[in-house]
Amino acid sequence: MRPTDTSNPDYFHRVVDCQWACPAHTPVPEYIRMIGQGRYADAYMVNWVSNVFPGILGRTCDRPCEPACRRGRVEENNGQKAEPVAICRLKRVAADMKGDVKARMPTIVPFNGKRVACVGAGPASLTVARDLAPLGYEVTVFDGEAKAGGFIRSQIPRFRLPESVIDEETGYIFDLGVKFRHGERVDSMRELLTRHYDAVFVGCGAPRGRNLDIPGRQEAAENIHIGIDWLASVSFGHITEIAPRVIVLGGGNTAMDCCRSARRLGGSDVKVIVRSGFDEMKASPWEKEDAQHEGIPILNFHVPLRFEHESGKLTGMSFDVVKAEYDKNGKRTLVSTGQPEVFVACDVVLIAVGQENAFPWIEVETGIAFDHWGLPVLNEHSFQSTRPEVFFGGDSAFGPKNIITAVAHGHGAAISIDRFLNKQDVNQRPAPHVTISSQKMGIHEWSYDNAISDDHRFKVPWAKAETALANIRVEVELGFDAATAFKEANRCLNCDVQTVFTRETCIECDACVDICPVDSITFTTNGDEGDLRKRLKAPTLNLAQSLYVSAELKTGKIMVKDEDVCLHCGLCAERCPTGAWDMRKFLLITSQAGNARLGGKVKEPA
């Protein structure tokens, strides 16, 4: 292999599993350390810069960072008890304990002469607004609803996310001088384009719930609801109760929110019924757990056949029981088991079988093209549509995803809009800001806490079931207290503190090899990657993590480090007699509109 090029920002970034996995590339270990030091406001601001909604995301994020977290690969009995750091819930700690951060927010700057319209006040649009307003753009956000937040406000139930948190974090954006035209739905893109906006961002989400058109649907319509519409009505207080026996169809996160909401509004016999197997359900594992924890059974492998009714009054549903069969390519089909139909009695059905995009308000003659799935034709990096001054992001861009993806799109689109309005090429994407700095303070002292905690993941305490189920506005999770947050923060391995190897000073004494608790380091003769991976001190399990390879050393061998399960404990650097290993903090902040940096390289300190 050729010596590793660590000046490419991606190299060390990939080692920081959580940050790499986060769509907005939040510098996770950086803020976790701050939480450990009690610097909650600092931790909040690190988050706020990257993901705009730390308090909201600290409760609701889909947390792609957690399955990626290295801790989940290295704990005892790996794979069985191993658990990632509670990254998401630590974010909430920062938000809950930060105190007043208003003074840390950007200030309003003079108008730069350019106007931007955002359609929809969901997280994607609000991110665009947050990034552009401090640069002097006049940003106007339109939404048909009375309050900002998009699905965050209308869909996510209050027992997971109190409204005060939404008010606070959307408020910081409007404090930047962003104009909010609430209650104003945009009904015509053609007309919007005639107003004097220099660019338009479409962040209207994927607002249409998929229907289930099977026999009985029309006749029993009165007691059958589309999940996301029903949740919105619950959020806005139009619906405050439900009949006792409820079936929720679907296996995604919407289904989980529907069933748990129904439990709180009078549903005493609530069931989730899903076509697929339990394990293939789209809902996150923790959401399924939470639902089951509240006494909601999940019936899997049941394909809906009919809504049953007595002269228009819903009585229940019939299902075919299926099993999964896989063909040679691993493609799954659900085939009937031939068992008799199953009838499940109920009073109400909530259909939560997916969402669709809908753009009835964007006219063909605007020149904005859509593909055959009804999604806008976009450049996937710049979010630019076929009409140059119109950009898309969030669920409206590539179909329903989640909040953090919407935020990441918002940042990307804001960069594009800023470049576009400055007559720069939107296809040229800026590189991240990266710094790398030694953490060495004394002979064996580092400016990060390199001791490895043996603690297992701490559980977030819950409100008592009786109180939580009695009122839909009672938040279920109580959040970590400061002492538990400290311990949970200590579980983080500081994967951003990189092991940096200097070939010139290595004397090949093997001290690092001997001390490494996870057998990461090998000195051996060079070969191609596949060959090297077979000759390391410990087997390589994870091809997604790189091998760090030096140029040839004095004896003709090379140093190879498998980055996969390195604990970043710094012992290799402590045991190295010549300082050939050093622990250096790699801080990567993605470029945002106004501070974009092109063609960046990681600079090693001299």
Partner 1 sequence: MTYLTKPHLHHPTLTRNKVGYTRRDYEGKISTLCAGCGHDSISAAIIQACWELDIEPHRVAKMSGIGCSSKTPDYFLGASHGFNTVHGRMPSVLTGANLANRDLLYLGISGDGDSASIGLGQFANAMRRGVRMAYIVENNGVYGLTKGQFSATADRGSKSKKGVINKESAVDLVGIALQLGATYVGRSFSGDKEQLVPLIKGALGHGGAAFIDVISPCVTFNNHSGSTKSYDYVREHNEAVNRIDFMVTHSEITTSYAPGEVTDVPQHDGSMLRLRKLHADYDPTDRLAAMNYMNERHSFGEVLTGLLYVDSHASDLHSALNTSRIPLNALGVKELTPGSAVLEKINAGLR
Ligand X SMILES: Cc1cc2nc3c(=O)[nH]c(=O)nc-3n(C[C@H](O)[C@H](O)[C@H](O)COP(=O)(O)OP(=O)(O)OC[C@H]3O[C@@H](n4cnc5c(N)ncnc54)[C@H](O)[C@@H]3O)c2cc1C
The reply on whether position 87 binds partner 1 by CB under 8 A is no
CB of 575 to ligand SF4, least distance (A): 8
> Judged by CB, which is closer to ligand X: 64, or 215?
64
Q: What is the pattern of x (binds partner 1, CB under 8 A) and - over residues 388-427?
A: ----------------------------------------
The alpha carbon dihedral of 168, 173, 176, 181 has a sign of negative
Type and span of the H or E element at 42: helix 40-51
Strand partners, 335: 323
Q: How many CB atoms lie within 10 A of CB 268?
A: 13
> Judged by CB, which is closer to ligand SF4: 397, or 576?
576
The reply on whether position 566 binds ligand SF4 by CB under 6 A is yes
For 113: left if phi > 0, alpha if psi spans -120 to 50, otherwise beta; the answer is: left
The reply on whether position 455 binds partner 1 by CB under 8 A is no
CB of 537 to partner 1, least distance (A): 9
In the window 149-168, what residues touch ligand X (CB under 6 A)? 150-152, 155-156
The reply on whether position 575 binds partner 1 by CB under 8 A is yes
CB of 57 to ligand X, least distance (A): 7
- Long-range CB contacts (< 8 A, 24+ apart) of 85-88? 85/18, 85/32, 85/457, 85/488, 85/491, 85/492, 86/457, 86/458, 86/460, 86/480, 86/488, 86/491, 87/18, 87/28, 87/32, 87/63, 88/57, 88/58, 88/59, 88/61, 88/63
Where does residue 406 rank: exposed (0-12), middle (13-18), buried (19+ CB within 10 A)? buried
- Only one of the segments 145-153, 318-326, 383-391, 489-497 lies at the binding site for ligand SF4 (rule: CB under 6 A); that segment is 489-497
Among 34, 513, 559, 596, binds partner 1 (CB under 8 A): 513
- Only one of the segments 173-181, 284-292, 358-366, 509-517 lies at the binding site for partner 1 (rule: CB under 8 A); that segment is 509-517
Type and span of the H or E element at 231: helix 227-235
The reply on whether position 559 binds ligand SF4 by CB under 6 A is no
- Only one of the segments 101-109, 126-134, 317-325, 510-518 lies at the binding site for partner 1 (rule: CB under 8 A); that segment is 510-518
> Judged by CB, which is closer to partner 1: 312, or 517?
517
- Long-range CB contacts (< 8 A, 24+ apart) of 307-310? 307/214, 307/215, 307/216, 307/217, 307/219, 307/220, 307/224, 307/349, 308/216, 308/220, 308/343, 309/216, 309/219, 309/220
CB of 566 to partner 1, least distance (A): 10
Among 28, 166, 259, 317, binds ligand SF4 (CB under 6 A): 28
Where does residue 341 rank: exposed (0-12), middle (13-18), buried (19+ CB within 10 A)? exposed
Q: Can you give the binding site for ligand X, defined by CB under 6 A?
A: 60-62, 119-125, 142-145, 150-152, 155-156, 185-186, 203-205, 207, 228, 231, 253-254, 257, 361, 394-396, 400-404, 406
Q: Can you give the binding site for ligand SF4, defined by CB under 6 A?
A: 16-18, 28-29, 69-71, 84-85, 87, 492-493, 495, 499, 515-518, 520-521, 561, 566-572
